[in-house]
Amino acid sequence: MSDWKKHNTTLKILRFAQEGQYGVLSTIAYTLDHVIAMIRAAENKNSPLIIQMFPWVISHSNGDLVKCASMLAKKAKVPVAIHLDHCQDPAIVKLAAEKLPFDSIMVDMSHYEKADNLARTKELVQLCNKYHKATEAEPGRIEGGEDGICDTTELEGILTTPEEAELFLETGIDILSPAFGNLHGNYPSAGPNLRFDILETLAPKVEEKNALLCLHGTNDFTPKLIHENISFKMSKINVNKLVLDTHLKYFEENASKLPLTDLLDKSNDLLVERLEYWMDVFGSSGKA
């Protein structure tokens, strides 16, 4: 393992989680308020944390929000990493790797066909490693869409195979995000229908390569389903709606009723409460 990878914040957080058999919240932040609330919750619970941002944040703030988040992460009393999620544009990957203080980048070429996905991922992983950024990639294709990323609803979902996972691991990625029935966005009324047999096959192969697993598509997940994923050493668990739901609902219902300062304080308090609840569920509380 390269020396820089031993000290990379994202990888250090996830390796401790993998060894301790707990999950780490990887939370999507859209605003600086979100970043502040997320770090507050992590400090309250003495929990490690990964704060994720979509590429939209880079264009929206000219990268300044990333820089602010990184500054706050470094000042935090617990380990906090800054991750770029679902980066689907090679030019943005290059900008993020060279110019912005991300600890890790998801090189997401899953909207291409298999061969192109693999080839583009390999090239971009080499670029990110040059600038000491850990990398994540998605062999196969997780269906659905989320705010801020390319919608794959019209594309066929492709479940990750052991052979494909091995090819991606050979590119040097640090974190593998498998497609095993998980969806971006909301699930049908019946709820998630996951192929744990795929995870059972992949988990030892990933560990053999000294890599880590990441779970995407956690909308509508129950604590029981989270625990089942963690049992396969799924250490990085992406959350969006799962922690922002009460915060956003309060904001929507009270935006025209309260002074802005009261609205922000109360909605962010709800976000902190929700984060703390899931940190307890994930088993990361007290592990910083």
Residue 184 labelled as part of a binding site: yes
Tokens 């707990």 sit on residue:
22
- Check whether 111 is labelled as a binding-site residue: no
Which of helix, strand or coil describes residue 55? coil
Secondary structure (DSSP) of 149-201: S---TTSPPBPPPHHHHHHHHTTT-SEE---SS--BSPPPTT-----HHHHHH
Is 216 annotated for ligand binding? yes
Residue 83 annotated in ligand binding:
no
B/e letters for 100-109, b = 16+ CB within 10 Å, e = fewer, are bbbbbbbbbb
- Active-site residue, 197 included: no
Tell me which of 3, 33, 64, 85 is the catalytic residue. Answer: 85
Q: Is 86 annotated as a binding residue?
A: yes
**164 and 114 in contact (C-beta within 8 Å)?**
yes
Q: Quick count: other Cβ atoms within 10 Å of Cβ 20?
A: 12
Residue ranges of the binding site for Zn(2+): 86, 108, 138, 184, 216
Catalytic residues: 85
Residue ranges of the binding site: 86, 108, 138, 184, 216
